[in-house]
Structure 1
Amino acid sequence: MYSDEAIAAVRRMQSYIEEHIAEPISLSQLAKAAGYSPWHSDRLFKELLGKTPFEYIRSLRLSKAALKLRDGSPKVIDVAFDFVFDSHEGFTKAFSKQFGLSPKTYSKETPPIRLFIPYPASN
């Protein structure tokens, strides 16, 4: 069982991630939002949410990118850059690994995929 303060710290990190999802995010920024050291913030986040902060960020970015591809007709490269991927190739590789198909295929066919839906940290 975690203290209310520990849960609140992770929720602050989750809020920071949501507010800055289209920008580069560092562990030191998350730690500052949490009010803990980077090491402790990383450990606490993983213990409460089952993902490291960067796994969480990547899953959230990819899910938001999938929604953007589904709901519009943007270029894949534009979506990649919108969600802080450095290249089309890196985005395509991450998207394919997460969802089992390329972003181009997904944008054309929009089959059902399992999106990452974050929930607030709790006990």
Structure 2
Amino acid sequence: MSTQYHFDNMILTSREALKNAVENDWYKKYNQYMIQEFFYIGRQFELNGITYEVLSNYARESHVEGWLYLKAIGENSYKSWISPRKVLFEEPSLKKELDEGLERANIFLEINENHVQMQLF
């Protein structure tokens, strides 16, 4: 039996395929500050039919920083830690919202840079 590598619900059978998957990882375009801004403290969102509220957007769990500390809202309320990567992976609407926010920010930056350049002349 050959070695299997598991990455983002994919099963890869070669180290080269794993390396390629990691290099082209969709999550790389986000940095910790983008994630913290998007999952601001107090934000509520739905994941797998459960509404969560963000209690901490840069929690530390098992020596890993950057996790979300969430509170499930409802009858059976509980608190849990979850990776923002998993939230974005399992809830495409949140990923789309984050991407659209980044596109708007990039457009604003381009307009602002053009305005500054016009002022220089």
Name the structure, 1 or 2, with higher relative contact order (CA <8 Å, separation 6+): 1
More strand by share: 2
| Fold shared by both chains (TM-score > 0.5) | no
Name the larger-Rg structure: 2
More helix by share: 1
TM-score tier by shorter-chain length is under 0.3
